[in-house]
């Protein structure tokens, strides 16, 4: 019987130091820490954590292997359900999924499932990875559009089933949001993302970058000319939203997507990169999600003084709790119940301030969150020479507008059923392209379900 | 090299060559650390699987592109991007005899060429005004002459053709009684602005192709956003061609200068320690 011990804390870079570098914030567990933390798991007979994992990882089973020091076996358990464990261990919102439902969390702290997953994935990568297990080739070709989480998950499952899978990626690097969206200090590219994608390639999946499906090739070309028997569209939600307030086209106003793409995909934070990035003295980031935290913490590391402006309160912040905690530790200022109404410019058309209005919380809205209401006459200005809009994204219309018979709803999301089947036979979709912006793990879950549905469709 | 500062190259890219249409562009990266540079497609040869691009040596990144020799490879080439010109939607019969006026400034000559060629091949009447600082900077003269009915050259210094600006030549043509069904201007933003002002009261529809800053070129970042008819539009996916009379050129000109300080720094080659 395990002793009653608290959750093993994870070692992190000192906030003052990391606020000036792009190295990973969290160091993760070492073997001793992982063994100790794994010993806390009760190995429940009806594990609620598994039900709350969007890809259904056999959590108590992998933790039992960790407990026994059988790290390779632990990795093999995870690999049955997830192709990106080193990524998910770092970026999943565990507090609302597996850890949020852990029985230990009722009275104390839940098992650090995310940190254990990360430990196992990192250990496995450093020790040769999980041996590839796949069915013999069945000679059927499937195209996957987009190399983000949903596309990688779908492609992995199909490759394991024996399909000949090609992923088409529009950017010059594979990974989608893992490359362009999530910063290096939270998800290292060379050390974590690229090896994880290489493990998908090791299953036999081909990845062609620099192909714009919708322009270079259409979905119809893939089916009619390139010999694919089914297509999975996992093109994500890449279209940034703006508020529609005056001054958004001033110089110094950026979408979080632009700011983060410059820093992450183009590595503008590295002096060796040719891509420029604007470094303001005082940056205001508008929004309260993970993307807002990422943009704010990137700006801070580039040398700016950063304020996050959010129209509701701390409680409603949609970002992962860990990101908010890290952002605060690093010295980012939060202004809650504050909503921008206008961006003010100087005589040359550059940003000089963000005009905001004070908000108060009213009745709960359709989503159950209390909706913010402006307090009349409470306008005030926050001085800023850079404003970053992190208000969410919508699916890119490039594929839906160039594919005959592919239905979308009014927000531009592709209409698909639970299995990913769209209005067009042979065309499946999943992830943010269907749901609008969500999480890495939900997209992976959708990719896996679509892979099963594609397999069923092609066996008919 | 077409001129000491402008180079032309054929790039082997069969899928792009097969899909490219007039009005579209592509993005290249010259090296792994390189920027994504949008370039207009100057020509495409579907059977050879090549696209022709033209680059002007203006900064650190374009210098890398121009330094490529025959047989070298780009790190990345992606395209075709943007929407094709509206006229490709028209049936050939509708184009026959239709009168087009193209106004090309400097490097803008390159994207005008495939448009003029497309229309000329389908029997449209195409006049082209080409402007350059001086005769030595004119590009694609023979090629352009072979795909239009009249080619009018303007140079700032009078070294060839009309001595003066393209806008003056437009006025002269209209005063001489020429009429057009459609005008298209492609060149520096400031030129497109003044062509727009010149034609505003002529009643001739005018399209401009906006060479905004871009990162991904697929609608992901919004770096290229411009205001057209009071609405924010993304030039990379909704353009690059727009109704000129609705474009907020002053905003577009200002937004082009966003990274000028950084660009100048990148272009500055440190000479300390050399000889």
Question: What are A330-367's pLDDT values in tens digits?
Answer: 999 999 999 999 999 999 999 999 999 999 998 888 87
Number of CB atoms found within 10 A of residue A304's CB: 21
Kindly indicate the confidence band of residue B265, based on its pLDDT and cuts at 50, 70 and 90: low
- Average pLDDT value for residue range B228-251: 95
With tokens 């059988």, the residue in question is A70
Continuous H helices in chain B:
14-19, 60-66, 92-95, 109-121, 141-145, 166-175, 189-199, 235-238, 249-256, 260-267
Tell me the chain B residues in contact with residue A257 when contact means C-beta distances shorter than 8 Å.
Answer: 220-222
- A24 secondary structure, DSSP code: -
CA separation for the pair B218, B138 (Å, rounded):
31
Q: Measured between alpha carbons, how far is residue A163 from residues A78, A460, B117 in Å?
A: 22, 15, 44
B contact test, residue of A146, A166, A215 with most B CBs within 10 A: A215
In a domain, B60, yes or no: yes
Domain boundary among B81, B108, B137: B81
Residues of B with Cβ-Cβ distance to A272 under 8 angstroms: 33
- Cα angle: A273, vertex A126, A77; to 5 degrees: 120
B1 lies in some domain: no
Beta strands B125-132; B150-155: pairing state: parallel
Tell me whether 0.95 is exceeded by the ipTM.
Answer: no
Are B227 and B103 in a shared domain?
Answer: yes
Could you tell me which residues of chain B have a Cβ less than 8 Å from any Cβ in chain A?
Answer: 15-16, 19, 24, 29, 31, 33-36, 60-61, 75-81, 215-216, 218-223, 225-227, 232, 237, 251, 254-255, 257-259, 262-263, 266
Residue B39 sits in the same domain as residue B138: no
What are the tens digits of pLDDT across the range B100-130?
999 999 899 999 999 999 999 999 999 999 9
What backbone torsions phi and psi does residue A71 show, to the nearest 5 degrees? Answer: -70, -35
Do B115 and B71 belong to one domain?
A: no
Tokens 């795909």 belong to B147
Alpha-carbon separation of residue A261 from A183, A386, A392, B79, B211 (angstroms): 9, 16, 15, 19, 20
Domain assignment of residue B264, yes or no:
no
CATH number at residue B235: 3.40.50.80
| Same domain membership, residue B123 and residue B11 | no
Residues B112 and B248 in one domain: yes
Do B18 and B75 reside in the same domain of the chain?
yes
Portion of chain B with pLDDT greater than 90, in percent: 78
Q: B117 and B193 share a domain?
A: yes
- Chain B interface mutation, best of A210, A222, A267, highest count of B Cβ atoms under 10 Å: A210
A256-305 pLDDT, tens digit per residue, is 999 999 999 999 999 999 999 999 999 999 999 999 999 999 999 999 99
Secondary structure of residue B261 in the 3-state scheme: helix
Q: Using pLDDT thresholds of 50, 70 and 90, give the confidence band for residue A410.
A: confident
Radius of gyration of chain A (CA): 23
Rounded-to-integer distance, Cα A145 and Cα A412, Å: 17
Distances (CA, A) of A223 to A153, A158, A219: 21, 17, 6
For residue A187, is the peptide bond before it cis, meaning its omega torsion is within 30 degrees of 0? no
- Do residues B251 and B195 both lie within one domain? yes
Q: Is residue B275 part of a domain?
A: no
Phi/psi region, residue B140 (left: phi>0; alpha: psi -120 to 50; beta: rest), is left
Do B117 and B29 fall within a single domain?
A: no
Q: Find how far residue B131's CA is from the centre of its chain.
A: 13
Co-location of B156 and B59 in the same domain = no
How many domains is chain B partitioned into structurally?
2
Residue B96, in any domain of the structure: yes
Task: Indicate if B129 and B192 belong to the same structural domain.
Answer: yes
Instruction: Identify the CA nearest to A308 among candidates A280, A334, A290.
Output: A334
Query: How close does chain A come to B25, measured CA to CA in Å?
Result: 11
* Domain coverage including residue B44: 6-81
B36 and B106 co-located in one domain: no
Q: Is residue B228 part of a domain?
A: yes
B252: phi > 0 → left, psi -120 to 50 → alpha, else beta; which? alpha
Euclidean distance between CA atoms A11 and A26, whole angstroms: 6
Which residues of chain A are within 8 Å of residue B232 when distances are taken between CB atoms? 242, 248-249
CA distances to A401, B20, B111 from A211, in Å? 17, 13, 22
Which domain-ending residue is among B81, B101, B135?
B81
d(C-alpha B42, C-alpha B116), whole Å: 11
Query: A258 vs B34: CB contact, 8 Å cut-off?
Result: no
DSSP A392: -
Choose the final residue of a domain: B24, B48, B81.
Answer: B81
Please report whether residue B189 resides in a domain: yes
What is the spatial distance between Cα B212 and Cα A285, in angstroms, rounded to a whole number?
A: 24
In a domain? residue B261: no
CB contact under 8 A, A216 and B258: no
Interchain pair A261, B75: CB under 8 A: no
Q: Give phi and psi for A2, each to the nearest 5.
A: -70, 145
Confidence (pTM): 0.93
Say which CATH number the domain at B59 has: 2.40.30.10
């Amino acid at each position: 019987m395990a002793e009653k011990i608290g959750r093993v804390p994870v070692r992190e870079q000192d906030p003052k130091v990391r606020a000036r570098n792009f190295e990973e914030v969290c160091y993760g567990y070492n073997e001793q820490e992982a063994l100790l933390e794994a010993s806390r798991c009760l190995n429940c007979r009806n594990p609620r954590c598994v039900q709350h994992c969007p890809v259904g990882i056999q959590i108590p089973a992998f933790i039992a292997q960790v407990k026994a020091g059988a790290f390779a076996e632990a990795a093999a358990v995870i690999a049955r359900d997830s192709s990106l464990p080193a990524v998910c261990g770092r970026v999943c919102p565990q507090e609302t999924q597996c850890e949020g439902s852990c029985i230990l969390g009722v009275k104390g702290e839940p098992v650090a499932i995310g940190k254990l997953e990360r430990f196992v994935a990192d250990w496995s990568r450093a020790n040769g990875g999980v041996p590839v297990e796949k069915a013999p080739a069945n000679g059927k070709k499937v195209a996957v559009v987009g190399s983000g989480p949903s596309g990688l998950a779908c492609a992995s499952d199909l490759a394991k089933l024996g399909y000949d899978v090609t992923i088409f990626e529009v950017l010059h690097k594979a990974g989608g949001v893992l490359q362009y969206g999530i910063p290096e200090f939270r998800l290292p590219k060379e050390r974590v993302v690229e090896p994880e994608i290489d493990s998908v390639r090791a299953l036999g999946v081909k990845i062609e970058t620099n192909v714009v499906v919708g322009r270079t090739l259409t979905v119809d070309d893939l089916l009619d000319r390139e010999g694919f028997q089914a297509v999975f569209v996992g093109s994500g939600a890449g279209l940034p939203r703006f508020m529609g307030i005056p001054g958004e086209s001033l110089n110094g106003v950026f979408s979080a997507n632009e700011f983060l793409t410059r820093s992450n995909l183009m590595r503008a934070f590295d002096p060796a990169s040719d891509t420029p990035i604007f470094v303001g003295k005082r940056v205001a980031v508008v929004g309260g999600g993970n993307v807002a935290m990422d943009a704010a913490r990137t700006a801070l590391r580039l040398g700016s003084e950063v304020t996050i402006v959010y129209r509701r309160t701390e409680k409603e912040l949609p970002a992962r709790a860990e990101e908010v905690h890290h952002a605060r530790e690093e010295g980012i200022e939060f202004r809650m119940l504050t909503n921008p109404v206008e961006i003010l410019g100087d005589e040359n058309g550059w940003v000089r301030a963000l005009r905001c209005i004070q908000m108060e919380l009213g009745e709960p809205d359709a989503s159950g969150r209390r909706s913010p209401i402006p307090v009349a006459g409470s306008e005030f200005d926050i001085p800023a020479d850079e404003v970053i809009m992190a208000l969410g994204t919508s699916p890119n219309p490039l594929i839906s507008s160039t594919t005959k018979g592919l239905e979308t709803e009014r927000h531009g999301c592709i209409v698909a059923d639970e299995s990913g089947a769209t209005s067009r036979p042979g065309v499946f979709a999943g992830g943010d392209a269907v749901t609008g912006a969500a999480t890495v793990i939900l997209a992976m879950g959708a990719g896996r379900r679509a892979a099963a549905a594609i397999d069923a469709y092609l066996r008919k | 090299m077409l001129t000491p500062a402008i180079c032309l190259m054929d790039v082997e890219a069969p899928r792009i060559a097969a899909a490219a249409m007039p009005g579209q562009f592509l993005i290249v990266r010259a090296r792994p650390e390189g920027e994504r540079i949008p370039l207009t497609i100057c020509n495409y040869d579907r059977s050879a699987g090549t696209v022709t691009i033209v680059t002007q040596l203006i900064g650190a990144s374009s210098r890398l592109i121009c330094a490529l020799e025959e047989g070298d490879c780009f790190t990345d080439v992606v395209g075709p991007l943007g929407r094709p010109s509206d006229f490709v939607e028209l049936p050939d019969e509708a184009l026959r005899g239709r009168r087009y006026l193209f106004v090309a400034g400097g490097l803008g000559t390159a994207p005008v060429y495939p448009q003029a060629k497309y229309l000329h091949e389908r029997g449209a009447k195409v006049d082209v005004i080409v402007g350059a600082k001086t005769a030595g900077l004119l590009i694609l003269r023979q090629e352009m002459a072979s795909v239009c009915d009249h080619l009018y050259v303007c140079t700032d210094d009078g070294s060839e053709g009309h001595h003066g600006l393209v806008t003056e030549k437009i006025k002269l043509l209209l005063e001489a009684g020429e009429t057009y069904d459609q005008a298209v201007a492609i060149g520096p933003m400031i030129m497109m602005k003044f062509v727009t002002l010149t034609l505003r009261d002529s009643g001739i529809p005018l399209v401009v192709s906006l060479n905004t800053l871009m990162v991904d070129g697929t609608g992901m970042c919004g770096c290229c956003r411009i205001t057209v008819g009071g609405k924010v539009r993304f030039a990379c996916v909704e353009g690059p061609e727009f109704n000129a009379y609705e474009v907020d050129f002053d905003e577009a000109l200002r937004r082009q200068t966003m990274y000028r300080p950084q660009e100048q720094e990148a272009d500055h080659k440190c000479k300390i320690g050399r000889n």
